[in-house]
Structure 1
Amino acid sequence: MTTAKFIEVLEGYEFCAFGDLLDTQAFISLERGTVHITSGDMDLDEEPPEDLEAGPYLALPDKSELRLGRELAIEFSEEHLPDDLSTVLGFFRNRGAYGKFKSFLERKGQLQAWFDHEKSAKESRLREWCADHGIELT
Structure 2
Amino acid sequence: MPVSVDWTELLHTFEFVSLGQPHEHEAVLCRKSGEFLWHTDLEEDIEAWPDDADDEKKYLSIPHKKELDLGKPLVFEFARQFLPDEFNEIRRIFDRRGAYARFKDLLQRKKALDRWYDFEAKATEAALREWCEVNGITIEHGATPAPEPDRR
TM-score normalized by the length of structure 2: 0.81
Letter of the 2:34 counterpart: G
Identity %: 34
Deviation at 1:94, TM superposition (A): 2.2
Q: Secondary structure at the match of 2:60?
A: strand
Deviation at 1:114, TM superposition (A): 0.7
Q: Secondary structure at the match of 1:36?
A: strand
Write the deviation string for residues 62-99 of structure 1: whole angstroms up to 9, x where unpaired. Answer: 11111111100011111111121111112122222212
Aligned length: 138
Q: Secondary structure at the match of 2:10?
A: helix
Aligned match of 2:70 = 68
Q: 2:87 aligns with which of 65, 85, 88?
A: 85
Aligned match of 2:97 = 95
Distance in 2 (CA, whole Å) between partners of 1:109 and 1:25 is 34
Distance in 2 (CA, whole Å) between partners of 1:40 and 1:110 is 36
Deviation at 1:21, TM superposition (A): 7.5
Q: Secondary structure at the match of 2:39?
A: strand
Structure 1 stretch displaced more, 114-123 or 44-53? 44-53
Distance in 1 (CA, whole Å) between partners of 2:53 and 2:64 is 19
Structure 1 residue runs of 5 or longer lacking an equivalent are none
Aligned match of 2:107 = 105
Aligned match of 1:35 = 36
Deviation at 1:118, TM superposition (A): 1.0
Structure 2 residue runs of 5 or longer lacking an equivalent are 141-152
Say if 1:27 and 1:37, in contact at 8 Å, map to a contact too. yes
Deviation at 1:28, TM superposition (A): 0.7
Letter of the 1:111 counterpart: L
Q: 1:115 aligns with which of 114, 117, 125?
A: 117
User: RMSD value over aligned CA atoms?
Assistant: 1.9
